[in-house]
Amino acid sequence: MSKTPVQFRHNGVDVAVFVDGGANLLTAIREGVGDTAPKFGCGQGTCGVCTVLIDGEPHLSCITLAEAVAGRSVETADGLKNGPDLHPLQRAFMEHFAAQCGFCTPGMLMAAKALLDKNPAPSRAEVVEAIGGNICRCTGYEPIINAVLAAASAGPGRQRA
Amino acid sequence: MPIAVKTCSSLGEAAAALSTDRGARFLAGGTLVMRAVNEGDLAVSTIVRATDSAFSEIRSAGARIAIGAGATMAQILAHRELDFLHPVARLIGGPAVRSAATVGGNLFAPSPYGDFAAALLALDATVSLQGGYGAREAPLEECLASRERSGGLVASVSLNRPASPGAFRFRKVSRVRPKGISVLSIAAHLPLSGGRATGARVAYGAMAPTPIRAKAVERALEGRTLDTAGIASALAVAAEGTNPATDAIASAWYRREVLAVHLRRLLLNEPER
Ligand SMILES: Cc1cc2nc3c(=O)[nH]c(=O)nc-3n(C[C@H](O)[C@H](O)[C@H](O)COP(=O)(O)OP(=O)(O)OC[C@H]3O[C@@H](n4cnc5c(N)ncnc54)[C@H](O)[C@@H]3O)c2cc1C
Ligand code: FES
Ligand code: FES
């Protein structure tokens, strides 16, 4: 069957990829664009490792129809860094040992970014709520929650330092 | 197997596309349809989508509210006039599910999903069903009862704001918080007249193949006060008409066993634990 072209903005750059009918956005990003930051865990919407932002809102790319993002803006963890500088969330994850095997990290970072972009000073409960759809099998979540709170309290002064 | 994707600019066009192709499935937020597609479900050979902007619009005029079936849980949460539905929408999945999951999709989500549909049942919602040639209005209860057979496309859901802010109550019982799937959910609209329940509506999610009204409970509450003595007869018939499933979340026995406990807490407005 013929492939369908889909055009969207990927981490600020316009891209066009060809997808199979019914392909999900995760496949389009990993295999079409070549950005392997979002991971494949369950393909069922339950683990959160494929979390990306679409027009600033968190979405699970494995259960998003690729064609549904035509003309929209998609952000992945690959777009967080600014040249050699890590994003404040990435730095906080490092400093607070919020990644062990690291498989959940790209999803956690994007779920956390979705929160901090809207709510720069969240409560602990709000952080828990924001990453409620993301599973981590290593850290026990506490270091991740602490990292997100630390990135928030570092404030905009640390943004793009 | 690759799937054909049909993108329609109007709901009428989408309804027509669905009625002519047995392998066609309507995709709204896709949180359930894409799961089936990822699993290689052969029952889905065509995906039909609608890009009509009215499909996800929320309109309110006085006490009457019309919610486009394509509105997401995140849109409900962002809408101040729908504050009474916020505690319901907030309990559907995590944030990334809520930014995709639609109100219309929730009406067709298999049990134990359908928490939002249960809330709409308790609010006596009606649905606007879109055919190839036009739309007709039907009670939500009828739409749910025939959902496996009808294949109808829901354009919007209409409801009245609750009689008073405290009159609408919702409880979702799950093992994992904040995002666990329902053991069961209970929604109730409890208008009071002179301190007594009048025209109560009670609905359950995950207590039958679709969300259902608890009509025996509604009848037993009529004219009663919402205190321990007043609700006793309603609790005695709590499980009437239910037919829950045994699944990975809970057994049918467990669901029936705990139903009256949670109904009591809701009716007495006890804090959640
Ligand atoms: C991780 C996860 C957690 C979840 N948690 C919950 C939860 O807590 N509570 C809950 O209730 N659900 C939950 N769900 C299930 C689901 O996300 C919701 O029920 C959601 O509202 C479904 O809407 P959708 O737009 O994604 O549906 P879709 O996947 O697009 O469609 C689902 C079904 O409804 C049909 N449909 C969709 N829109 C219409 C329409 N307008 N007219 C006619 N048919 C239509 C489709 O053809 C399909 O058969 C969860 C799902 C996931 C992946
Ligand atoms: S891979 Fe998308 S949620 Fe698990
Ligand atoms: S660090 Fe291994 S899953 Fe989270």
What structural domains does chain A harbor?
4-78 (3.10.20.30), 88-156 (1.10.150.120)
pLDDT one-digit tens code per residue, A33-65 = 999 999 999 999 999 999 999 999 999 999 999
Can you give the C-alpha Rg of chain A in angstroms?
Answer: 16
Domains of chain B, residue spans? 4-50, 53-160, 166-267
Query: What pLDDT, on a 0 to 100 scale, did the predictor assign at position B62?
Result: 86
Chain B interface mutation, best of A60, A117, A126, A135, highest count of B Cβ atoms under 10 Å: A60
Q: Which two tokens stand for residue A131?
A: 């990453």
**Whether this model's pTM surpasses 0.80:** yes
Tell me the CATH class for B4-50: alpha beta
> Which stretches of chain B drop beneath a pLDDT of 70?
1, 178-179
CATH architecture of the domain formed by B166-267: 2-Layer Sandwich (3.30)
pLDDT one-digit tens code per residue, B90-135 = 999 999 999 999 999 999 999 999 999 999 999 999 999 998 778 8
Query: What pLDDT, on a 0 to 100 scale, did the predictor assign at position B65?
Result: 97
pLDDT above 90 covers a percentage of chain B that reads 87
Residue of chain A minimizing CA distance to B31: A63
Query: What pLDDT, on a 0 to 100 scale, did the predictor assign at position B190?
Result: 98
Q: Encode B78-105: b = buried (16+ Cβ within 10 Å), e = exposed.
A: ebeebebbbebbebbbbbbbbbbbbbbb
Residue A99 Cβ contacting ligand 3 at under 6 Å = yes
- B31 → closest Cβ in A45, A57, A111: A45
The answer to whether residues B91 and B77 touch, using CB atoms and an 8 Å cutoff, is no
What value of ipTM does the predicted structure carry?
0.94
Sort out which chain B residues have CB atoms less than 8 A from A22's CB and list them: 2-3, 5, 37, 44, 47
Per-residue pLDDT of chain A (161 residues; tens, 9 = 90+): 679 999 999 999 999 999 999 999 999 999 999 999 999 999 999 999 999 999 999 999 999 999 999 999 999 999 999 999 999 999 999 999 999 999 999 999 999 999 999 999 999 999 999 999 999 999 999 999 999 999 998 865 444 43
Residue B46 Cβ contacting ligand 1 at under 6 Å = no
Who lines ligand 2 at CB under 6 A? A 40-43, 45-50, 60, 62
- A42 in contact with chain B, both atoms CB, cutoff 8 A: no
Q: Ligand 3: distance of its center to the CA of A94 in Å?
A: 13
Q: Tell which CATH classification among 3.40.50.720, 3.30.465.10, 3.40.30.10, 3.40.50.300 matches the domain B53-160.
A: 3.30.465.10
CA distances to A111, B238, B260 from B257, in Å? 37, 10, 7
CA distances to B32, B260, B263 from B132, in Å? 24, 44, 41
